[in-house]
C-alpha cells in the first residue's frame, strides 16, 4: 500500500524518464531508477516488518462500565530477523468489529503551530476518551518479546469477544505502508453500573408480605418460624443449638427456621429493536440496564424474589435472580432485539405476574396506551413506571417521537391507570439514586385495582 507521497515519487520518476528520453540525459534515467528502487525497497521492508508476529492481550474478564481496564499487550517476534519502527495498535472493544480495514489517520498540527513547535502532537489517552491505543516499538530482535500496559476507559455495557489488534509499519524510508490484522483471543464483560439505594418506594411501601392466591412453599433460612433441626455445621451460632436433642443424640444439633420471603418483584426492561436507529436505542438500553441493576440490587438484598424480563423478538426472556452478580451478567448481555411494543410486552408477561406482586417497568418516555397496560396487569398488582428521557440522551435525534417526555408525564399524572404506584423520570447526567429513591409522583392514597 502506497501513500499519496509515494504516488508523487512514482509520477516524478516517470516524468524524469520521459525527460531523459527526449533530452538523451543518462543521469535522468539513473535518478528515476533510484527513486523506483527506493519505492520497491520501502514496500518490501514494510511488508516484511508486519509478518511472523503474534499478539497476546491480558486483562480482567469482568469490569464495571465506570471503571478503567488495565490491558497488557505481549508481542512475540517469531521470525529470525529483528523488526524496527513497528507500530502496535489495539482496537477499542466497543468498536472492534465495526472496522474491517485499518484506516490510520495520524493527527497533525496546523502548519503555523508545527513551525513553532516541531514536536509530535499529543495523543488522546484511551483511558480518557476510549478509542484505539497505539505504541511504537523501535526494535524487537528475532525470537524476542516486548510488552506494553495501558489503561482503557469509556467502556460501554456489553459482552465483547476477540476484538482485533494490528501491526503497522512504514518501513524505513516511509514511502510505503503495510498492516496485518490479528483476531486476538479475548473475553470481556462490561457490567452495567449501579448505585446502592437507601430505599425504593414501591418495595418499601408495603411492610408485610402480600397474601395472594398463590402461596409459596416454605424455605429454610433466617427467620422466626421454626422449621426443623439438623446436625451442627461450622459457622452455626451457638444460640441455635437444640440442647435437648443434642443430649439425646450425643452430638450437636441446631434449630432451623423458615426463610422470610418478600413480595415478588418483576422488572421489565423495554429492549425493543431500533431498526435503522440501532445506536440510539442502544444508548437508551444502557441507561435502562443501569436503572434495573440498581432496583434489583436493593430488592434482592431486601429479601424479595426478583425476576428480570426482556424480549427476544416476540417472546419474553425471563431470568429469576438467584445471584445479583449473575443478574449483572444477564443485563450486560442484553441487546435491543425486542419485537414487541410496551403494551404487548406487558400482555406477554401475564402468566409471570402473580396477583399482589410488584411490577417495575423501565422504558423510554414514549406515548403509551394506559388502559391496555392496566388490563394486562393481574389482581392487586402495584406498578412503578421508570421513564428514561430520550431527548437528554440523544438530543435532536429523538425529535421524531410522537410525544415528548413532558407530554407523556402530564398524561399519566392526569389519568393514572389503576395499580400505578409511582412515576420516575431519569435524564442523562442525573443521579440514579435520586431518580429511584424520589419519584416525581407517588400515588400513596390510590387504591389498587380489583376485579
- Evaluate if residue 344 carries a pLDDT over 60: yes
Q: Which of 82-86, 137-141, 376-380 has the lowest mean pLDDT?
A: 376-380
Query: CA-to-CA distance for 255 and 229, rounded, in angstroms?
Result: 4
Q: Which three cell numbers stand for residue 116?
A: 513553532
d(CA 240, CA 254): 5
| Surface-to-core class of residue 4, CB atoms within 10 Å of its CB (0-12 exposed, 13-18 middle, 19+ buried) | exposed
Residue 309: band (very low, low, confident or very high) from pLDDT cuts 50, 70, 90: very high
Taking the C-alpha atoms of residue 226 and residue 335, their distance in angstroms, rounded to an integer, is 45
Give dist(CA 378, CA 346) in Å, integer. 11
For CA atoms 202, 206, 207, 213, the dihedral sign is negative
Share above pLDDT 70 across residues of the chain, in percent, rounded to a whole number: 81
Classify residue 388 by burial, with Cβ atoms within 10 Å: 0-12, 13-18, 19+: buried
pLDDT over 70 (residue 114): no
Q: List residues bridging with 76 in a β-sheet.
A: 54, 145
Q: pLDDT tens digits, residue range 237-251?
A: 777 788 888 888 888
- Phi, psi at 266, each rounded to 5°: -110, 125
- CATH number for the region 201-209+263-442 comes to 3.40.50
Whether 254 and 229 have beta carbons less than 8 Å apart is answered as: yes
pTM of the predicted structure, to 2 decimals: 0.77
pLDDT in tens, 20-43: 777 777 778 788 888 888 888 888
Residue-wise pLDDT for 433-445, tens only, equals 999 999 988 885 4
Domain boundaries defined on the chain: 49-191, 201-209+263-442, 220-258
* Domain 49-191 of CATH type 1.25.40.10: no
Mean pLDDT of the chain: 81
Which residues make beta-bridge pairs with 426? 388
Confidence band for 225, pLDDT divided at 50, 70 and 90: low
Q: What does the pLDDT read at residue 204?
A: 83
pLDDT of residue 448: 38
* Residues 227, 308: Cα–Cα separation, whole Å: 30
Residues 153 and 130: their CA atoms lie apart, in Å, by 5
For range 207-219, the mean pLDDT: 38
Amino acid at each position: 500500500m502506497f501513500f499519496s507521497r509515494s504516488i508523487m515519487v512514482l509520477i516524478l520518476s516517470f516524468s524524469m524518464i520521459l525527460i531523459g528520453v527526449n533530452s538523451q540525459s543518462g543521469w535522468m534515467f539513473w535518478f528515476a531508477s533510484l527513486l523506483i528502487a527506493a519505492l520497491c525497497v520501502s514496500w518490501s521492508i514494510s511488508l516484511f516488518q508486519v509478518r511472523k508476529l503474534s499478539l497476546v492481550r491480558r486483562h480482567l474478564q469482568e469490569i464495571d462500565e465506570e471503571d478503567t481496564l488495565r490491558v497488557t499487550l505481549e508481542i512475540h517476534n517469531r521470525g529470525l530477523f529483528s523488526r524496527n519502527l513497528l507500530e502496535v495498535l489495539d482496537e477499542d472493544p466497543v468498536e472492534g468489529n465495526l472496522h474491517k480495514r485499518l484506516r490510520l489517520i495520524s493527527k497533525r498540527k496546523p502548519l503555523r503551530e508545527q513551525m513553532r513547535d516541531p514536536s509530535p502532537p499529543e495523543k488522546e489517552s484511551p483511558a480518557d476518551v476510549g478509542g484505539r491505543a497505539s505504541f511504537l516499538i523501535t526494535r524487537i530482535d528475532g525470537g524476542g518479546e516486548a510488552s506494553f500496559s495501558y489503561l482503557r476507559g469509556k467502556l460501554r455495557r456489553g459482552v465483547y469477544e476477540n476484538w482485533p489488534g494490528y501491526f503497522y509499519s512504514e518501513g524505513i524510508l516511509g514511502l510505503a505502508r503495510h498492516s496485518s490484522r490479528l483476531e486476538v483471543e479475548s473475553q470481556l464483560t462490561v457490567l452495567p453500573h449501579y448505585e446502592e439505594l437507601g430505599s425504593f418506594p414501591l418495595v418499601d411501601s408495603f411492610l408485610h408480605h402480600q397474601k395472594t392466591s398463590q402461596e409459596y412453599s416454605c424455605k429454610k433460612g433466617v427467620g422466626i418460624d421454626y422449621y426443623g433441626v439438623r446436625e451442627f455445621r461450622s459457622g452455626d451460632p451457638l444460640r441455635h443449638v437444640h440442647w435437648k436433642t443434642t443430649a439425646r443424640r450425643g452430638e450437636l444439633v441446631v434449630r432451623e427456621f423458615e426463610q422470610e420471603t418478600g413480595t415478588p418483584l418483576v422488572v421489565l426492561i423495554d429492549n425493543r429493536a431500533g431498526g435503522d436507529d440501532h445506536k440510539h436505542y442502544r444508548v437508551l438500553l444502557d441507561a435502562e440496564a443501569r436503572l434495573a441493576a440498581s432496583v434489583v440490587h436493593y430488592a434482592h438484598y431486601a429479601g424479595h424474589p426478583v425476576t428480570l424480563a426482556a424480549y427476544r423478538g416476540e417472546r419474553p426472556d425471563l431470568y429469576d435472580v438467584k445471584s445479583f452478580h449473575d443478574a449483572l451478567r444477564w443485563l450486560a448481555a442484553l441487546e435491543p432485539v425486542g419485537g414487541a411494543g410496551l403494551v404487548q410486552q406487558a400482555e406477554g408477561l401475564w402468566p409471570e405476574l402473580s396477583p399482589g406482586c410488584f411490577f417495575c417497568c423501565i422504558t423510554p418516555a414514549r406515548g403509551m396506551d394506559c388502559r391496555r397496560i392496566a388490563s394486562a396487569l393481574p389482581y392487586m398488582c402495584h406498578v412503578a413506571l421508570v421513564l428514561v428521557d430520550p431527548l437528554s440522551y440523544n438530543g435532536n435525534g429523538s425529535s421524531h417521537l410522537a410525544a415528548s417526555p413532558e407530554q407523556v408525564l402530564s398524561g399519566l399524572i392526569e389519568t393514572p391507570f389503576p395499580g400505578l404506584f409511582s412515576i420516575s423520570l431519569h435524564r442523562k447526567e442525573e443521579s440514579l439514586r435520586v431518580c429511584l429513591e424520589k419519584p416525581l409522583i407517588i400515588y400513596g392514597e390510590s387504591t389498587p385495582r380489583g376485579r
